[in-house]
Amino acid sequence: MDTNRYFSFTRLGYVMKRDWMENWKTNLYTFLGIFLAYLLVYLTQMNGLNSSHAGYYYSEDRLIGNYCSSFGAVFVFFMFVFATYIMNNMQTKEARFSYLMLPATSLEKFVSRALSVTVGVVIMTLLASLLAEAVHWAFMPFFDEIPDRLKISVWPEAWGKVLETINPFQQETYQYCVDETTREFVTRERSIFFQMIWAYWSVLWLHSLYILGGSYYRKYAFFKTTGTLILVGIVLGRILFLVNPAEIVAWFGEFVRRNEDWLTEEFAAGVMAVITFCFTALNWWLSYKLFTRQQVIKPKFRLL
């Protein structure tokens, strides 16, 4: 392959190393920001356990569950915020000189940034939450109402529970009626693989919209992207309202009922997963195209 035009992993390594080392201050502040958010999660939970003797009727499982939700929420929030940082090193004219003149292909530069705001943030999140886990012990003496059985290390269990929750190979337990007259039920398990994959791609699609927003807006990209999404949501909602949603729902229900022999829940989820994947890929591609057309001046639509 002609690495001059396409891709070189060696060069990608150089670009990433340069990106991380030269922006060490920004990365450090980012890490501290995530750490503080996780520390706040710990302190809030500890404060909850400490007040009103709540800790005495809390089970360990419930505690881990609470941490799991908070860890997940903070993680998703930061993933979305940092997705808009994808073109962070192109914010000023001086920075654009530096990055655009760097002898690497546009794809290498884009992949380097994409990895920074995705894999980089995942790594930083894990490390920051681990540090928060260590630091929260220093605050433990201030919460003397927490029972000893709840003074536990939650980091591995909480993240383990997060992974368990998002595991696509998990089996869903449900009750199945075997006899309508006797109302006899049996407990069965079924795969929810396609539903989970659809859920993943839905989140990743939303994430990719923030990637696209970050590639388009140079400043306050997170707020501008959120604002744009809300606006588009309102407009689409209004359009949907105008075309009578009840009629569409009724038509769709009828369509599903007539074709239930092949239109299973798994099949529908699989189709939706493919559709959301395509939309996600489209957003990433648009984001890359925007990057390749970056200039040293602020791009206008006319010039794109």
Partner 1 sequence: MIEVKNLTFGYGRRRPKVLDNFSLNVEKGAVYGLLGKNGTGKSTLLYLMAGLLRPQQGKVFYKGVDVAYRYPLTLQDMFFVPEEFSLPNVSLKQYVKLNAPFYPNFSNELLKTCLNVFDMNEDIHLGELSMGQKKKAFMCFALAANTSLLMMDEPSNGLDIPSKSQFRKVIASGMNDDKAVIISTHQVRDIDSLLDHVLIMDGSELLLDESVSTICEKLYFAEQSLNEPTDDALYVQPSVQGNSVILPNTFGGESKMNLEVLFNAMLTEKVRMKAMFNQ
What does the binding site for partner 1 look like in residue numbers (CB under 8 A)? 3-5, 8, 11, 14, 17-18, 21-25, 92-98, 100-106, 293, 295-297, 300, 302-303
DSSP codes joined into one string, 251-278: HHHHHHHHTTTT--HHHHHHHHHHHHHH
Cβ proximity of 144 and 46 under 8 Å: no
In the DSSP assignment, the letter for residue 287 is H
Cβ 250 to partner 1 shortest distance, Å = 50
Q: Which is nearer to partner 1, 19 or 157 (CB)?
A: 19
8 Å CB contact between 222 and 210: yes
> What is the enclosing helix (H) or strand (E) of 65?
helix 60-83
Minimum gap (Å) between residue 13 Cβ and partner 1 = 9
Kindly tell me which of 183 and 300 has the beta carbon lying closer to partner 1. 300
Nearest approach in angstroms of CB 9 to partner 1 is 13
Query: 103 or 141: whose CB is closer to partner 1?
Result: 103
Q: How far apart are CA 194 and CA 192, in angstroms?
A: 6
Q: For residues 1-29, b (16+ Cβ closer than 10 Å) or e, as one string?
A: eeeeeeebeebbebbbebbeeebeeebee
Between CA 102 and CA 98 the distance in angstroms is 6
Alpha-carbon distance of 69 to 44, in angstroms, equals 13
In the complex, minimum distance from the CB of residue 297 to partner 1, in angstroms, rounded to a whole number: 7
Closest distance between partner 1 and the C-beta of residue 113, in Å?
15
